[in-house]
C-alpha cells in the first residue's frame, strides 16, 4: 500500500517538476534580458553607388524649338544636340544656333557653342562666344555671352562688337531695347569709323 501511494505522488509531481524546469530554462537562458539591444540585422554589402534614382531626362539630336511669349515667337532655337533634366529645369543646347525676335522684322540671328534655357527662371543664356547678324540691316555682331530674361524682355550681350559701314562700335554691354528698334551700347564704348578723305 505504501509503495502504491509513493508511485501516485511521483506520478502527480513529475509533470509539475518538468514544467518548473522548462520555465526556469526559458526565464534564465532563452528569454532576452531587460534593456538588451536587439541583435543587428545583417545587410548585403553596399555597392557604393548613390541611392538617388536616375532622374528622367530628354536627349535629342538636331532639334528645333520655338519659345512663345504672349502667343508670339520670341526665340527659335536649334542645336546639334540638346539635353534636359527635370531636377535642374535646364535645357542645354550644344553647338547652338537661333533667332531672337525683338519684334516683327527686327531680329538677331546668332550661333554659339552653348545655349541654356532655364525653365524655372525663364531665362536664356548664350555662352562660349557669340557671332550673329542684326536684321534687316545686316550688321554683324559678336559678344562673349548673351542673356535674356522674360521678366524684362531685354536681350543683353557682354563685351559686344557691332560692325557698321566699314567701322565698328564696341562696349561692355549691348542691349536690344524693348521699345522700338534700338540697340544701346554701355560701358567703355569705343567707336571706330572709316573716314573718306577724297576731295570732291
Percent of the chain with pLDDT over 90: 26
Q: Which residues, 6 or more positions from 105, have their beta carbon under 8 angstroms from its beta carbon? A: 135, 136
Band of the pLDDT at 121, cuts 50, 70, 90? confident
pLDDT tens digit sequence for 181-199: 788 899 999 999 887 656 5
- How do residues 71-109 score in pLDDT, each as one tens digit? 888 888 888 888 887 777 788 899 999 998 877 778 899
> Alpha-carbon distance 131 to 169, whole Å?
15
pLDDT of residue 57: 59
Average pLDDT over residues 134-156: 90
Rounded to the nearest 10°, the torsion over CA 24, 30, 31, 34 is 110
Better-predicted residue by pLDDT, 123 or 16: 123
Amino acid at each position: 500500500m505504501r509503495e502504491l501511494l509513493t508511485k501516485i505522488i511521483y506520478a502527480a509531481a513529475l509533470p509539475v517538476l518538468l514544467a518548473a524546469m522548462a520555465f526556469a530554462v526559458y526565464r534564465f537562458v532563452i528569454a532576452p534580458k531587460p534593456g538588451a539591444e536587439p541583435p543587428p540585422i545583417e545587410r548585403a554589402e553596399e555597392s557604393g553607388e548613390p541611392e538617388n534614382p536616375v532622374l528622367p531626362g530628354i536627349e535629342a539630336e538636331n532639334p528645333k524649338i520655338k519659345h512663345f511669349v504672349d502667343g508670339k515667337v520670341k526665340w527659335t532655337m536649334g542645336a546639334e544636340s540638346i539635353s534636359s533634366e527635370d531636377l535642374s529645369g535646364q535645357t542645354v543646347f550644344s553647338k547652338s544656333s537661333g533667332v531672337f525676335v525683338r519684334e516683327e522684322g527686327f531680329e538677331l540671328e546668332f550661333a554659339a557653342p552653348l545655349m541654356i534655357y532655364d525653365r524655372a527662371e525663364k531665362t536664356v543664356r548664350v555662352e562660349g562666344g557669340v557671332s550673329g547678324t542684326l536684321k534687316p540691316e545686316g550688321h554683324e555682331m559678336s559678344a562673349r555671352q548673351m542673356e535674356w530674361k522674360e521678366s524684362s524682355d531685354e536681350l543683353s550681350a557682354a563685351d559686344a562688337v557691332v560692325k557698321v559701314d566699314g567701322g565698328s562700335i564696341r562696349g561692355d554691354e549691348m542691349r536690344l531695347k524693348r521699345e522700338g528698334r534700338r540697340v544701346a551700347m554701355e560701358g567703355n564704348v569705343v567707336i571706330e569709323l572709316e573716314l573718306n578723305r577724297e576731295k570732291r
